[in-house]
Amino acid sequence: MLCMCEGLSWSVDDRSLLDAFSSFGDVTEVSIMYDKNSGRSRGFGFVQFSNEDDAKYAKDVLDGKVLLGRPLRISYALERVRGAPVVVPRISSAEPKD
């Protein structure tokens, strides 16, 4: 299961994110998103767990906790297959009934 971590300090790197999450279970991949031009962290990243229960436990414990001076916001990320279409549900434009 893939967790998205938002609110990361610019000083958080892959190693510090791995250290924060690895005590909750088997982490198979960690990646922080960086700006292409500046090389600076964009303030979010992803942690992949091999086990869904471990991911849920990590989210329950770490969501809102401070890592290197910033509170973490953790959610479950949707895993996207490269090249697959993104489906966005339509919101009805009909007027609500009274």
Q: pTM of the prediction?
A: 0.75
Q: How many CB atoms lie within 10 A of CB 24?
A: 21
CATH code for the domain defined by 2-76: 3.30.70.330
Distance CA 64, CA 69 (A): 12
pLDDT in tens, 29-83: 999 999 999 999 999 999 999 999 999 999 999 999 999 999 999 999 876 555 5
